[in-house]
Amino acid sequence: MSELSTRTKHVRYPKLATPARFLFALFLVATGLMTMMFGVQGYPLPEEPSAFRDFMKALDDTGYIIFWVGLVKFVAGSLLFVRRTTPLALLIALPYTANILLYCIFIANQYLLLGIPDFLCNVFLIYAWFDWYKGCFED
């Protein structure tokens, strides 16, 4: 038997990782559905001028990116409910969570309390499931 077939994979901190996975999944599915709805109905914009308003207006005017971001969030969140697809779901969600963190820092500071935990939860879960990614870094 090869070394790869005898190596077991385990989740680090399972008592913390499992509830975090389900909460993150719920968050992604719920906000994914909400974002897709905004993509169809239009994003509610504040009246006062701001960088946040200008950015969201530009995204809303295209009618393109908001729906697709929501769909990616929904798919990643749905995959997170299944243990077997969790490592894939976490990688799908990583660009979204990194972007949301940067978006909250530079454009929408009012959402930092959502953006920081969103990103940190994704990073923690990738760490918890890191045994599934080790093969990517081996020769």
DSSP for 7-52, please give it: -----SSHHHHHHHHHHHHHHHHHHHHHHHHHHHH-PPPPSS--HH
Tally the domains of the chain.
1
Give yes or no for residue 20 having a pLDDT over 60: yes
CA atoms within 13 A on the CB side of 33: 7
pLDDT per residue as tens digits for the range 32-65: 999 999 888 877 888 888 888 888 888 888 777 7
Q: How far apart are CA 87 and CA 97, in angstroms?
A: 15
Domain of residue 111: give its range: 13-41+50-134
Q: Tell me the average pLDDT of the chain.
A: 89
Phi and psi at residue 31, in whole multiples of 5°?
-70, -25
Q: Evaluate whether residue 61 is within a structural domain.
A: yes
Q: Evaluate whether residue 123 is within a structural domain.
A: yes
Q: Evaluate whether residue 95 is within a structural domain.
A: yes
pTM: 0.85
Q: Evaluate whether residue 139 is within a structural domain.
A: no
Query: Quick one: average pLDDT of 61-89?
Result: 92
Query: Quick one: average pLDDT of 112-133?
Result: 95
Q: Which distant-in-sequence residues (6+ apart) come within 8 Å of 22 by Cβ?
A: 80, 81
Q: What is the pLDDT of residue 92?
A: 97
Query: Quick one: average pLDDT of 89-105?
Result: 95
User: Exposed e or buried b for every residue in 53-80, given b needs 16+ CB within 10 A?
Assistant: beebeebbeeeeebeebbebbbbbbebb
Total residue length of the chain: 139
